[in-house]
Amino acid sequence: MSRETRADARLRITNEIMEAARRQLGEVGAAGLSLREIAREIGMVSSAVYRYVDSRDDLLTRLIIDAYDALGDVAERAASAPADTDLGRWTATASAIRRWAIAHPHEYQLLYGSPVPGYAAPDDTVGPGIRVVVALARIVGEAARHERLAAPGEPLGDLTPQLADDLRALADAVPDPFPADATTVLAFVVGWSQLFGLLSFELTNQTRGYVGDDADLFDAAARRVGHQIGLR
């Protein structure tokens, strides 16, 4: 059995550090993340961690990027899986996002919960951060390009002109821009935030006891949102 090469060891131990960090995230939250505790968990002296990580902030940044990428993978994979209908594709993607969040609640909180005191996310996190919303937008865009997008049900008719302009600009800003009127984009933005809002509610137990099966509630909400965007 050949001895482990240095590069391999470096990879392995970096992974151990990240795993210990994620474990700790689950126990004390991002604000309580401690390099010394991580070192202890993997049986190293605290200063040794600095061979693998520049600083505590650097570690946080890596955790965030990894989490965004994991969630982005999940969303993109679900969004490009075969589906009978656009609405089915949408709800499947939403469900996949939810499942990841439920399986990784603390990483989800790291991304979408309260900001960590004293930490400012660097720009490297932006790219991975938008993958999930881009994956959702792509579903709508594709439906729109194939002219399968239903007209918005109730326009409500009183978007301010400024807001309507902003929303149309938003639809053009994503990769695969989709031709849609402002009300549709509003439904998308609002629906997008709704799904994340519902998830946050579920994760922080705000609906505790009200509803037996949160997954059913979420799926029903996702279907409703997709329908209102015009997906069928």
Partner DNA sequence: TGTACATCAGTGAACGCGCGTTCACTGATGTAC
Residues engaged in binding DNA (CB under 7 A): 3, 5-7, 9-10, 13, 33-37, 44-48, 50-52, 55-57
CB of 114 to DNA, least distance (A): 18
34 binds, among a second copy, DNA, none (CB under 5 to 8 A by kind): DNA
Residues that bind a second copy (CB under 8 A): 28-32, 109, 112-118, 153-154, 156, 158-160, 162-163, 166-167, 170, 173, 186-187, 189-190, 193-198, 200-201, 204, 206-207, 210-213, 216-217, 220-221, 223-224, 227-228
DSSP state of 50: G
115 binds, among a second copy, DNA, none (CB under 5 to 8 A by kind): a second copy
215 CB-near residues (< 8 Å, 6+ apart): 95, 98
CB of 77 to a second copy, least distance (A): 22
CB of 2 to a second copy, least distance (A): 43
CB nearer to DNA: pick between 33 and 136: 33
